[in-house]
Amino acid sequence: MFDSVRQWYMKGVLKKPTEKEPIEKKPREQEPRVSPSVMSIELLRNVGQAASNRISSSSAAKQLALRTQQLFPDSETFAVFLPNNRFLEGWDLVMVFLLAYTGVVSPVDAAFLPTRFDAIFFINRLLDLSFFIDLILQFNIAYVAENGVGLVKNRRKIAFRYLCGWFCFDLFSVCPFDLLNFMVSADVTNLQV
């Protein structure tokens, strides 16, 4: 049998295996990446041209819908922060320090100090502002799905989960009660005079 195989090679019936030449891979032509702000400016420019050229409204609407879909393929997930984002990690650290400050200073301020326009009053307003920013930020943070697999990035689901969870507590904590107390006491003193 070996003789017959050798003979087949010699006759040219079988070809000897040769080393394969490497296949040259052609690089894919990639579209240049454009930032969303440049894309949105271009979108507005195209909409403005469509309106100025008096293109039929259905044609302009189709162009706008197509362009929007290209810019934001899933507008529900656009600009949603992932939970492991560095900015959020730093923000959470800042919020821990602000909560610690609030836990120590606010009881003392409420119990022993009269409400005045002093440094503590303005620091408390900055704290209220930062807690309000955190409240808004919570509507933009993806969360781990209930089954533990993947992240939920849909804004409606994020908002629904937050509104059904900690939103009421966060909203209540953002209310500047000392400012309201100051305004009410000022009205009462004005009435007495």
- Do 8 and 14 touch, CB atoms closer than 8 A? yes
Q: Band of the pLDDT at 160, cuts 50, 70, 90? A: very high
- Do 63 and 50 touch, CB atoms closer than 8 A? yes
Pairwise CA distance, residues 176 & 121, whole Å: 10
Which tokens sit at 187?
């009205």
Whether this prediction's pTM lies above 0.85 is answered by: no
Pairwise CA distance, residues 3 & 78, whole Å: 70
Chain segment 75-134, per-residue pLDDT in tens: 555 678 998 889 999 999 999 999 999 999 988 888 888 877 888 888 989 999 999 999
Which tokens sit at 27?
């690089």
- How many Å separate Cα 146 from the centre of its chain? 20
Chain segment 72-83, per-residue pLDDT in tens: 555 555 678 998
Pairwise CA distance, residues 88 & 86, whole Å: 5
Given a cut of 70, whether residue 21 has pLDDT beyond it is no
Given a cut of 70, whether residue 145 has pLDDT beyond it is yes
- In this predicted structure, what is the pLDDT of residue 161? 94
| Secondary structure letter of residue 148 according to DSSP | S
